[in-house]
Amino acid sequence: MQNKKNGDILIVDDKPDNLRLLSAMLSDRGYEIRAVMSGSAALMGAQAQPPDLILLDINMPEMNGYEVCQRLKANHLTQNIPIIFISALNEVLDKVKAFTFGGVDYITKPFQEEEVFARIETQLSLRRMQVALQTQNDRLQQAEADLRRALEQERMLNQRIEAMTAIEERHRIARDIHDSLGHILVGLNIQMETALTLWQTAPDRAFEFLGEAKKLGTEALNAVRRSVTDIRSDPLQGQLLDRAIAALIAEFHHTTGIAPECQLDLSLPFSNSVNTVVYRIVQEGLTNICKHAKATSVQLQIQTTPTELSLKLQDNGGGFCADENQNGFGLQGMRERVLAVGGQLEITSAPGKGCRITARFPRNEGVV
């Protein structure tokens, strides 16, 4: 006799001798047995406490085994319980009908203990596997639902982050307009005041100052137009980052005659907010080189790995004292952009030593 419960079996037979024989036989094998003598009692017992398997006699008064099986299969609480029909050798067993109504096997009387045990254990094993598979399937479906919710929450969060990044970008551009335009307008005002002072005594000199003032005015107007365009539009213009960077490099080459040495590996995607910051850094860095560096050589490296995106922009120009010029040439805007997406920025420069801009951006899992 086995100590553990091997399964809960409901036996349905209108003959007490059969019930006693099967109950004793299966109890000795470690099964928990319930026995009833009518189809109606079987239906109530199966619904109240669904067994693991039902042994169902075919020929019973009032309600035969086929009808009991049909009703059990029509009830969602009992439809998955395996049913083995019981039939005597001298009785006609309609096997097609038995399987059509939902039976999984049949046992003939008189009972052979090993055969009964083998058929029952086969169906219980199949039932256990079915339950295990259903449980696993339910877990997978739940995991899929949880993943879908997490992805939707992440998508909404990314949208909010990108919206906030866009607002911060506009604020930075507005501040850049204020700083750069203010510098230009101060110079223009000085030129105008000097021209007015010299107008009566030295009109030729005054005319020269007016010419410089006009150049500054044109420069201020162009700066405002560029900044307004930056505020109104997506800097990437819907392009992939590598194409947008290639366009910047081509424009820089056309303007300066310098062809940057480029090593670009953007095979792994990063979020749009990181791509925008990378684009802005390259754009600002190349603009600074064009305006201030007087460089003859420029190197640009951008590489993506499963954990980060790294960027290095270097020139051999005049450089500057980085410790004393933390806010000039748009450096403060670069720092703010990089920090906003969780990156790190390092700017190395010295007079006569060129400038190197290095940035690293960690990958946020699932954000592309």
CATH of the domain at 257: 3.30.565.10
261-265 vs 105-109, strand pairing mode:
unpaired
Domain, as residue range, for 73: 8-111
pLDDT at 124: 92
Last residue of a domain, one of 111, 136, 163: 111
Name the pTM for this structure.
0.45
Last residue of a domain, one of 81, 111, 141: 111
Identify whether the C-beta of residue 195 lies closer than 8 Å to the C-beta of residue 217.
no
| Number of domains the chain contains | 2
180 falls within a domain: no
CB within 8 Å of 83: residues ≥ 6 apart: 53, 54, 56, 69, 72, 102, 103, 104
How confident is the model over 65-120, as pLDDT tens digits?
999 999 999 999 999 999 999 887 556 666 778 888 889 998 888 888 899 999 99
Last residue of a domain, one of 111, 135, 155: 111
Split at pLDDT 50, 70, 90, the class of 193 is confident
Compute the mean pLDDT over every residue in the chain, rounded to the nearest whole number: 85
How far apart are the C-alpha atoms of 358 and 368, rounded to whole Å? 22
Split at pLDDT 50, 70, 90, the class of 197 is confident
